[in-house]
């Protein structure tokens, strides 16, 4: 008899199974239930097993390609519950943070007065933020909506964290190349406690060359960790009302020191 041999899966195919499964969970409505009890638009209900699967799969995908924004977003949402609770308490205990939780502002092109920001003097926070967007060819509209956080208020805090990310680049004076992104992740890890930020802070240096590693470990890294730990909660600042404030004054108010050096803005990429 002719017996068919069982074909072995190619390693390339096996490697992508987890990523494909996570993608299906992330995009398909067949396996999961959307927006139960009107929690918030786009919410996807997941149980503990599904969250664990999403966390592992998205983590593997993000390791293979740190620029997979969708996988980084899933990893943050499925591992950040305790950190988000802590951030909520910090915001509620801050008058400005409490106002943000009450009013729920969004940082989008539709909410920004770009003409007014362009007319602000050099050195103002709004003008420098607009300069950052223009020079790096980025937009606040690129941030993904939250899907897997099972609490409406915590989901907003995760969304606020994402929309504040580019503002942190401006506050910290960091470009969007790999060294700048890693420095921001070190700051965010110390400031927020989000596991996703810690993972990025640990694994990001693996993609740096020797000279940039030296800059990170001897200068930018210690500065980012120190300032992240001691700074006021960066999610408790109503940035939309601070555009006219000078960048220098805002840093001083937040207890953030200017960077010891500014990395070259070459090889810009978003994370």
| Binding-site positions for Zn(2+) | 165-166, 169, 181
Asked if residues 88 and 154 have their Cβ atoms less than 8 Å apart, the reply is yes
Cβ proximity of 158 and 84 under 8 Å: yes
Residue where the block lists tokens 């606040």: 140
Closest CA to 119 of 244, 257, 266: 244
Q: What is the dihedral of CA 217, 143, 52, 55, to 10 degrees?
A: -40
Residues annotated in a binding site: 165-166, 169, 181
- Spatial separation of the C-alpha atoms in residues 141 and 111, rounded to whole Å: 10
């Amino acid at each position: 008899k002719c017996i068919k041999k069982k074909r072995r899966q190619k390693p390339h195919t096996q490697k992508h199974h987890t990523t494909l499964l996570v993608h299906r969970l992330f995009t398909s409505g067949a396996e999961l239930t959307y927006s139960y009890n009107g929690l918030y638009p786009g919410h996807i209900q997941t149980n503990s097993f599904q969250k664990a699967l999403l966390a592992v799969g998205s983590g593997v995908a993000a390791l293979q390609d740190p620029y997979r924004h969708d996988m980084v977003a899933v990893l943050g949402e499925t591992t950040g519950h305790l950190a988000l609770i802590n951030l909520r308490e910090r915001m509620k205990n801050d008058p400005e943070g409490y106002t943000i939780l009450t009013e729920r502002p969004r940082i989008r092109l539709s909410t920004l007065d770009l003409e007014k920001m362009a007319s602000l003097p050099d050195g103002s926070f709004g003008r420098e933020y607009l300069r950052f967007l223009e020079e790096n060819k980025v937009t606040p509209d690129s941030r993904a909506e939250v899907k897997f956080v099972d609490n409406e208020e915590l989901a907003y805090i995760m969304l606020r964290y994402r929309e504040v990310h580019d503002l942190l680049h401006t506050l910290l004076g960091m470009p969007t190349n790999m060294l700048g992104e890693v420095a921001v992740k070190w700051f965010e890890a110390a400031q927020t406690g989000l596991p996703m930020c810690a993972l990025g802070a640990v694994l990001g240096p693996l993609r740096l060359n020797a000279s940039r590693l030296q800059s990170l470990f001897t200068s930018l890294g210690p500065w980012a960790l120190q300032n992240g730990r001691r700074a006021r909660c960066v999610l408790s600042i109503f940035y939309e009302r601070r555009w006219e404030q000078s960048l220098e004054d805002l840093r001083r108010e937040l207890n953030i020191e200017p960077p010891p050096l500014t990395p070259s803005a070459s090889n810009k990429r978003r994370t």
